[in-house]
Every structure is written in C-alpha cells, then in structure tokens.
Amino acid sequence: MKVALAQLNPVVGDITGNSERILSLARECAGSGAELVVFPELSLTGYPPRDLLDRPAFVQGSAVALDRIASHIPPQTGVVVGAPLLLDGVLCNAAVVCRGGRVVHIARKRLLPYYDVFDETRYFAPGRSSGLWENSGEHLGFMVCEDAWRMPGLPERQYVVDPVADLAHEGATLLVNLSASPFQQGKRAVRERIAHWHARRHGVPFILVNQAGGNDELIFDGSSLVAWPDGKTVACRRFDEDCIIVDTDTREVVRLRGDEPDDGAARDEIAEVHDALVLGVRDYAAKCGFRQAVLGLSGGIDSALTAVIAVRALGPENVIGITMPSVYSSQGSVDDSYALAANLGMRIETIPIAGLTDAFGAALGPLFSGTPAGLAEENVQARIRGTLLMSLSNKFGWLLLTTGNKSELSTGYCTLYGDMNGGLSVLGDLLKTRVYDMSRWINRAGEVIPWDTIHKPPSAELRPDQKDSDSLPEYEVLDRVLSLYLEEQMDAAAIIGCGMDPDLVVRVLALVDRNEYKRRQAPPVLRVTGKAFGSGRRMPIAARARY
C-alpha cells in the first residue's frame, strides 16, 4: 500500500485555510500514486486549539470542513485528517478517515495527556477501542499521538489500557499514529524509539505523522517516520513541512519535495535547539501578522544571540536593533553591538538615554529624597529602554523580541516593565551556559557574534563596574541548581545530595519561587526543554512552600 506522510504546518484556528491546504496536498499525493494520505493530529484546527474548543461554532465549523474534504478528495484515495469531532454528545480528538466522498472510519484518541503543556482532559472525552479499517488488503489500525506513548521506560505515563496492543491483537497489518508532539531536547529520539518498539513488538510497520511548525510557545519538529520491524527507518525532514510516499510492500520512497532524505542520524543538540528557535520565531511572527522585529542590543551575549536567531528567521532586512547607551554603558558594548549588526547585515539605530534618566531622576527626586540610591534607580534605566522599544513596536508594527535567558528569568534578575517587555521571549528556556554554548557554536566557522561579547564578563551595566556575579552565583553553578530544580524537578534535599552547597541551594530556590509574579507577566517563552516557563509550569504566586 502506498501511504503518504503529509507533515503539515497548520495555523491554529484557521479551519478554512487548513482544509484548503489539506485538500491541495491530498490531491498532489493522489496524483503521485498515494492510496492513503495521513495528516497530523488535529491538523484541521491546528494543535493546540485550547479554549477555541469551547466554542460550539468552532467545533461545528470543523465538522463542516470535514464534510467538504470528504466530498472533494480524489475518489480512490483515502485521506486521514486529525479533527475534533462531536460524537454521542461528547467531544473527541479523532483520526477521521475519508474516502469515496464520505467519512468511512473514525478512531477516537484513547489516552488523553494531562501533564506539562497538555490539558486534553479539559476538552475531550477518551475513546474506546477503535477497530480496524481495511483498504487495499491492509488492516489499518489508527491511533492518535499519546495512544502510542505506552512503553517500558516511560514511568510518568502509567496507563491501564494499551491502544497499540489492542489494535495489533485485532489483526492490524499497519499501525498509523497521527501526532502533534512538541519539540524538546532529545524528544525526536524518544519518538523513534517508541515507534520501533511497537513495530518490533507486533511485527508490523509503524507510521507516525507529526505536526511541523510553531504555535505560540510550542515548536513542532515534524520528523514524521516509518519504523520497520527490522529496525530500519524512513523519515521526513525536521522543522519544516514535508511529504513522502512510502510503499509498505516494497519500501520504495517517493519524496514529493525533492529534498535529500533524513537519514535519522543524531544531530548536534545545539544545532537542533537552534533550528527550533529559528522556526519558533519565524512562525510566531508570521502567524501573528508581523513582518519585522525589533530588539535592544546591549553588546551582551543574550541580545547578540537573539539577533542572530531573529535574522535567520526573518532575514536581515527585517530585524532592527536599537542600542540605548547610558552613562554606565561601556564604549566596548556599543562597539560590539555595531560589529554584530555589521556581521549580520541588519539595521541598527542608537537612542542615548542619559537625558531621559536625568529627567526621571528629577521627577522622582522629591519622593526619593533622603533614601540611598539603589535598585529602583538602576531599574529606571531598564524601564526607559523598555518603553522606547515598545514605542517603536507600537509605531511601526514591529514585533519586540525579549532577550533574557532562563537563568535570569528563573532568579528574577530582570526588570518587570523593562527588559522583560516584548511579544516573544526567544531565549527564555535557555540557561545562560547554554547561551554561551550556542554562541560559540554560531561562531564555529567564523566570527558572527563578536568574540569580545562572548569573552567579557556578563553585566547589566546599570551601575559602575557592575557584574552579574555581584548578584548571582557563577552561572556554571547556578545553572546546575536551576536544571535540577526546574527541569529534573528535584527538591532542595535531593539537589544538596548531588553535592551542591546547601546555603546556595536554598538561596537559589528562594529566588525562583519569589519571582513567580514576574514570570506570570512575561511574554510567551519558546519551549525547547522538558520544563519551560509558561503553560507547562503552573505555580501559585501568593504561596508559601517548603523546598
């Protein structure tokens, strides 16, 4: 049987646009000999549609679009679309098989994830055994994403039922999974391991079709694949739309996009995260209607890396950097900002803020009188910069990119209504040490980010001779604690048991918990780890919790 893996990048909520693209690609696949075209999970609505699913008109619009797809596809081609469907009075996350002008089979998602960024029990009712659909001599067993995530070694998913095993016991000769599995470091390898485990266990090919593209903070890498029982793999491209047609009898592959095949080889982890961030910025801007982006260039490593990613996502002609020197800004920082802009070919403008800082000081002077200068005065500079950047965004319709990293966001080493202003946080899920790693990787073939930017001690430059290490532990130590606490979800005792200084651990954890209110007001953070700030981490603000 010739099956097309139609790796789509849908726009959430755009049922009309998504259905047109589904029809167009289905016709193209049919013209190339595909007997079955498989699209990702909720490809009709985009994933995740979230509370759009609470709108009856949205669900009804999806049903109307499904009928239209069924009536317009080539008559001898089956098309499998992921869609929300109201069945027996409840909403289901379904794989809908259309052929011959009608819906011929429906497989309801049985395992509904409710951890991290997933909240499907909020919207959907679980399905029961879906049964098989027979076509061209194959007995096809369809399941949706999480239905396949039941394998030894996945302890957080303690499900009673095993949808894949049920389909295999019913006689499936081909297993097909519609997926919307977000990217995170190492996730692709896990997906491939799961697919091969099912293929070997049941002795039949396992097809997984995954969504590509960025939707808000979530990035989907695609990486759709066919896992054969003998351990071999055929895969689609990563971080882009793609479509391949696989003959399940001969294993012959037709690549409709004409690109080199993905050999499934492991890529450098930094390269994968870089590609994910570039895609995340590109899709967030495009799907929100932005053509250009603006960011503050401080001469520091965070803004430099953000600028590189923005230029690679949007093109150098569409990225504007603003340097805003104060009396505390070193000439080296200004020079580094201009050198970076020249290396990237992007526009750069300068707005000095010394006069504005003086004006704020004069206005606040009567109320600040008699108090020592400190953090409030320092943060005025950051808030002036944030206001200037937001004004430019407001005036010209530019997307303001926030440049802070995960270490800063974790500990509150950032200014609310200042450097936290923006529409998208590009590095908010990258610890500072990872920012350094990626910056060196960027420069692997020659200087893009000025080496002075990478080598100099990091500083906010809000007071004379300021260094980040004045306020925070050294980043190598800090990031180790943050990784264990946030990403491994260890408590203080467990972290201390890893050999970390007890006083330092308690101090860092207190900083993280104390600054929850700041993160609640931060822009969306592009997610690249297993635990990012945002929808996957929901912590109370007014709380007292022991570590």
Does 488 reside within a domain? no
Q: Is 288 a catalytic residue?
A: no
End residue of a domain, out of 468, 500, 519: 468
Burial class (CB in 10 A: 0-12, 13-18, 19+), 75: exposed
Task: List Cβ<8 Å contacts ≥24 apart for 24-32.
Answer: 25/243, 26/69, 26/73, 26/74, 26/77, 26/79, 27/73, 27/74, 28/243, 28/256, 29/4, 29/77, 29/243, 29/245, 29/256, 30/73, 30/74, 30/76, 30/77, 32/4, 32/245, 32/254, 32/256
Residue whose pair of structure tokens reads 């290490």 in the numeric block? 469
Element (H, E) at 354: helix 354-368
| CATH number, position 156 | 3.60.110.10
In this predicted structure, what is the pLDDT of residue 544? Answer: 80
Query: What pLDDT score was predicted for residue 267?
Result: 65
Note the Cα 528 to chain centre separation in Å: 6
pLDDT at 464: 77
Angle at 409 between CA 421 and CA 354, to 5 degrees: 45
Number of domains in the chain: 2
544, part of any domain: no
Last residue of a domain, one of 424, 447, 468: 468
The conformation of residue 483, written as its DSSP 8-state character, comes to: I
Boundary residue ending a domain (468, 489, 506): 468
In-domain check, residue 26: yes
In a domain, 489, yes or no: no
Shared domain for 235 and 295, answered yes or no, is no
Say if residue 148 is in the same domain as residue 289: no
Residue 145 among the catalytic residues: yes
H or E stretch covering 477 = helix 475-482
168 and 99 within one domain: yes
* pLDDT recorded at residue 86: 96
What is residue 62's three-state secondary structure? helix
Tell the burial category of 269 from Cβ atoms under 10 Å away from its Cβ (0-12, 13-18, 19+). middle
Annotated catalytic residue, options 29, 145, 236, 243: 145
State how far the Cα of 149 lies from the Cα of 170, in Å rounded to an integer: 19
Task: Tell me the pTM.
Answer: 0.95
> Does a structural domain hold residue 381?
yes
Judge if 255 and 275 occupy the same domain.
no
Q: What gap in Å lies between CA 523 and CA 538, rounded to an integer?
A: 15
Specify whether 7 is located in the same domain as 146: yes
Task: In whole angstroms, give the CA distance from residue 491 to residue 529.
Answer: 19
The tokens of 3 are what? 């099956």
pLDDT, residue 212, reads 98
Inter-residue contact 525 to 428 (CB < 8 Å) = yes
Task: Tell whether 154 and 221 lie within a shared domain.
Answer: yes
The CA distances from residue 162 to 97, 198, 264, 349, in Å, are 22, 11, 27, 58
CATH number of the CATH domain containing 409: 3.40.50.620
In whole angstroms, how far apart are CA 262 and each of 236, 249, 258, 498?
6, 21, 12, 39
At 162 the pLDDT is: 93
What is the distance between the alpha carbons of residues 44 and 250, in angstroms, rounded to a whole number? 31
Question: Are 313 and 430 part of one and the same domain?
Answer: yes
Question: 546: helix, coil or strand?
Answer: coil
291 lies in the same domain as 383: yes
Question: Please, are residues 136 and 121 in contact by the beta-carbon 8 Å criterion?
Answer: no
Residue 371, in any domain of the structure: yes
Residue in the block written with tokens 């971080």 = 239
Is residue 300 domain-shared with residue 193, that is, in the same domain? no
Return the ∠ at Cα 91 (arms to 95 and 533), rounded to 5°.
Answer: 85
Pair of tokens at residue 68: 């239209």
Q: 510 in a domain, yes or no?
A: no
Same-domain check for residues 429 and 345: yes
- SS3 at position 151: coil
Are residues 147 and 223 located together in one domain of the fold?
Answer: yes
- Domain shared by 350 and 241, yes or no: no
Residue 518 annotated among the catalytic residues of the structure: no
Q: What is the pLDDT of residue 159?
A: 84
Say how far residue 126 (Cα) sits from the centre of its chain.
Answer: 26
**Residue 110 counted as domain residue:** yes
Q: In order along the chain (547 residues), what is the average pLDDT of each group of 10 residues? A: 97 98 97 97 98 97 97 94 96 96 96 93 91 92 96 77 95 98 94 96 98 97 97 95 96 83 66 97 98 96 98 98 91 93 98 96 95 92 96 98 97 95 98 97 96 86 73 92 95 95 95 95 96 92 77
Q: Given the residues 29, 35, 41, 287, select the one marked as catalytic.
A: 41
Q: Which residue in 192, 200, 204, 193 sits closest to 238, CA to CA?
A: 192
DSSP secondary structure letters along 407-464: HHHHHT-S-TTTTT-SSEESSTTS-HHHHHHHHHHHTTTS-SS-HHHHHSPP---SST
Selecting among 109, 287, 432, 531, the annotated active-site residue is 109
Domain range enclosing 296: 271-468
